[in-house]
Amino acid sequence: MPHVRTIREEACWARADHRYTQEMAKLLPENSIVLTHNPNMFLFWGKNAAQAAIATNNDQAMNHFFQRYTGGVYFHYNYWCNTDNPREQTFCRNILKKYKHKSLVEYKEKGYTFVLYRLNKK
């Protein structure tokens, strides 16, 4: 008898993050950039993206992004922001504390929240 692969629950949140990220990418306007833990997904779909860490420790780059990307600067609140790791949770909360933000879209699945925020300087 051949082996049959089954998809179980182990990666359900990662799969949800990927699915919702695809929908979020469609909402990004021209000449915008999204800060995320996973820029490769957005880049693959033809969107400008960079590591979210830039928002917490590189004010010069952020000032450049706010000037350069007239379509806006966005933050992808994703799988990593939902993990049980306090370091990751704090990292994501600090980005939201540092910048004015407005939710464009929010999805919830099995206790995890996935959000696309537009960021602005305070």
pLDDT given at position 36: 97
State the pLDDT confidence band at 12, using cuts at 50, 70 and 90: confident
Confidence band, pLDDT 50/70/90 cuts, at residue 1: low
Pairing of strands 32-36, 48-51: parallel
Whether pTM > 0.75 for this model: the answer is: yes
- For residue range 17-56, list pLDDT tens digits in order: 999 999 999 999 999 999 999 999 999 999 999 999 999 9
With a cut of 70, say whether residue 105 has pLDDT above it.
yes
Distances (CA, A) of 12 to 7, 26, 32, 89: 9, 22, 29, 19
Mean pLDDT of all residues in 45-72: 96
